[in-house]
Structure formats: C-alpha cells, structure tokens
Amino acid sequence: MAIGMETVKPLRVALIHRDSDRCTNKRMVGIWSYPVPEFYWEHFPQEKGFEFNKDRVAGDFDCIFYEDGKLHGSFCGHSDVPVVYYVVDSTLSEQHYQLRREQAARTDLILIDHDDLNRFEGRVPVRRLAHCVNDRLFKDYGLDKTIDISFHCRTEGSAPRKSLEWELEGLCASLGRSYASGVRYDEEYARAFNRSKVTVNLTRTPTNRPHRVLDALACVTCLLTNPLPSVKPVELVAGIHYMTYRNLEELGSKAENLLEGGGWRCFAENAYRHVMEHHTWAARARQLRVILMEELGL
C-alpha cells in the first residue's frame, strides 16, 4: 500500500469491543468487517467495566483500537502502546456525551463518527472517521423492488418511532402502496432495503446520524428522512443523495411524488454511487491509515 511516496506494512491492531458475536463474526458495521491491506487485527472482546492491561499486547501490536459500543472500561499497564478511541453514540443524550468525553480524555487519539469535533477538543487529538458500510453485506442484491415504502428500525422504547410506524402503515394503506416494517438482522436487513423503493428514517435526536443512513443507501433505496446533521468533510447532500421531510404530511406527499414519477430511482442510484466510492470499509481503511500515521506516527 502506498501513502504518498512510501510503501508501508499493515498496522497490527488490538481491537477492543463488546463481547458479542455481532462485533466479531457478524459485523454489520463496515469498520474491521473484511480484510484490507492497510491493517491486520485481532479481536479482544470485553465485558462492561473491563480493565485491559496494555502489557498484554505490547510488542505484538502497534495500537489498541477501542470501539464505543455500550462498552465502558479502562486501561492499565506500563506499555506505551497508544489507545485510539472511536466515538459513535455521543449524540444520543448528554449522559452519552459526558461519559464518552471522560473516557476519550484518557486515550491517545479520538476518532469521531458524526458528532461535532469541537465537543471533544482538549489535550487529545481529534479527527473525523465517519461510519462506513460493510459493502459485502450492504450492497445491490439485484432484487425486485416489491416494497414501495419501508421502515426498518427498532421502535421499542421510542414513542416517536412507534407512532411513525403506525402512521406509515395507515398512510400506505390509504395510498394503496405496499409497506414493510420491523427489525431485520444481518443479510435479511440488507435485502429488506434492497427490495424497497423508498426507505423512511427517523433519527433519535437532531444531531444523530444512525448507521442506517449509509447502510440503506448502499442497498440502492431512496432515503426519505427527517433532517440529518452535517458530517464534514464527507457530505451527503439533501436533494441529491436523499430527501428530507419535516412532518407526516410532508413525508406522505414526498413519498407519493417519488413513487408516482419514479424519482426515487434517481436518488437511489446517486446515493449508491456516492457510498460505493466514498463510504466503504476499503475506502475508510485508507483514510484511517493516513490519520494514524499523521497523528501517532504509526
């Protein structure tokens, strides 16, 4: 692999994450989902409240990559192997943010998925590493578009999402449009997007951008979502890659216009090309390798 004029060896990464099969063998997120020339990694699953001794990986790994995934713990040991902390869920609440900010301050490099970088400024360098898709899972399966409108997300514990799920069911019935909803997992989740002409999204907070956004777009569906936060420098553009709605009435009218005129296809294809070029794990691995070289000299 070439970075500038240099050819570098793969970095050896000790990957710290929740003790879950969905973080190891069934990674729905893109990062670390399939082999890339920039990195070699091994999984070190941990339970909540872990204490990881860095001496365990000294000499065998170049860095520790600590994933924010409902996993909180600490590091000890005398080794100077750097710890990189990847922040994903800091926009869900003030409590989520404060906990992650405290943990990030004890690491050597902070990587931010979609939050405002300024919220983590301090002693530790902060860089953007936006979500990327596992494009071996989220892709164009070539399925017939049998579903007009879909809404595939977890609604338990979210009154706004549950309400929208019911409203969409009624809306589609009144319009004579096919509709699908409910939680899906693994390949069936990706295939559900690929069958849908229009996929509806509702973010949990105004500053949250769920992984569902890029994952759905990678499956050639037209995303219709409430407004999304800006995630620079890697931009998705409303009106080009997806459409937004402000209320149920606007959602219904825009969905019907997209379906009636076939405009959903243009958005779906624009977004698919953009995601495949800029937001795959292969593309993000190249960015991550450069960041680690610039910030940590690795």
pTM over 0.75: yes
Determine the Cα–Cα distance for residues 16 and 45; give it in Å rounded to an integer. 6
Structure tokens at 262: 């076939």
Q: What is the pLDDT of residue 2?
A: 46
In this structure, are 163 and 112 located in the same domain? Answer: no
Structure confidence by residue, pLDDT tens digits, 113-135 = 999 999 999 999 999 999 999 99
Per-residue pLDDT at 234 exceeds 90:
no
In this structure, are 285 and 218 located in the same domain? Answer: no
pLDDT cut 90: percent of the chain above it: 82
Cβ neighbours of 173 (radius 10 Å): 10
| CB distance 55 to 78 below 8 Å | yes
Mean pLDDT of 179-196: 95
Determine the Cα–Cα distance for residues 194 and 199; give it in Å rounded to an integer. 10
In this structure, are 126 and 214 located in the same domain? Answer: no
In this structure, are 9 and 125 located in the same domain? Answer: yes
Structure confidence by residue, pLDDT tens digits, 272-291 = 999 999 999 999 999 999 99
In this structure, are 35 and 128 located in the same domain? Answer: yes
Q: How far is CA 184 from CA 90, 100, 152, 181, in A?
A: 24, 28, 7, 9
Give the pLDDT band of residue 233 (cuts 50, 70, 90): confident
Can you point out the beta strands (E) in 79-172?
Answer: 83-87, 109-112, 126-128, 147-151
Q: How far is CA 148 from CA 20, 168, 199, 262, in A?
A: 34, 11, 8, 11
Helices (H) and strands (E) in the chain, counts: 7, 15
Q: Please indicate, yes or no, if residue 239 is contained in any of the structural domains.
A: yes
Q: Please indicate, yes or no, if residue 273 is contained in any of the structural domains.
A: yes
Structural domain including 183 reads 147-278
Q: Please indicate, yes or no, if residue 202 is contained in any of the structural domains.
A: yes
Structure confidence by residue, pLDDT tens digits, 5-64 = 356 689 999 999 999 888 888 888 999 999 999 999 999 999 999 999 999 999 999 999
In this structure, are 270 and 284 located in the same domain? Answer: no
Per-residue pLDDT at 268 exceeds 80:
yes
In this structure, are 271 and 284 located in the same domain? Answer: no
Please, how many CA atoms are within 13 Å of residue 130, restricted to the half-sphere of its CB? 23
Q: Please indicate, yes or no, if residue 77 is contained in any of the structural domains.
A: yes
Question: Which one-letter DSSP state was computed for residue 9?
Answer: P
Residue 35: left if φ>0, alpha if ψ -120 to 50, beta else—which one?
Answer: beta
pLDDT cut 70: percent of the chain above it: 97
Helix, strand or coil, per DSSP, at residue 130? coil
Helix, strand or coil, per DSSP, at residue 222? strand
In this structure, are 200 and 108 located in the same domain? Answer: no
Question: Which one-letter DSSP state was computed for residue 245?
Answer: -
Give the pLDDT band of residue 1 (cuts 50, 70, 90): very low
Q: How many domains does the chain have?
A: 2
Give the pLDDT band of residue 294 (cuts 50, 70, 90): very high
Q: Please indicate, yes or no, if residue 140 is contained in any of the structural domains.
A: no
In this structure, are 104 and 172 located in the same domain? Answer: no
Cβ neighbours of 2 (radius 10 Å): 7
In this structure, are 127 and 211 located in the same domain? Answer: no
Q: Please indicate, yes or no, if residue 141 is contained in any of the structural domains.
A: no
- The CATH number of the domain holding residue 247 is 3.40.50.2000
In this structure, are 284 and 274 located in the same domain? Answer: no
In this structure, are 203 and 286 located in the same domain? Answer: no
Mean pLDDT of 232-252: 90
Q: What is the pLDDT of residue 50?
A: 93
When computed from its CA atoms, the radius of gyration of the chain, rounded to whole angstroms, is 20
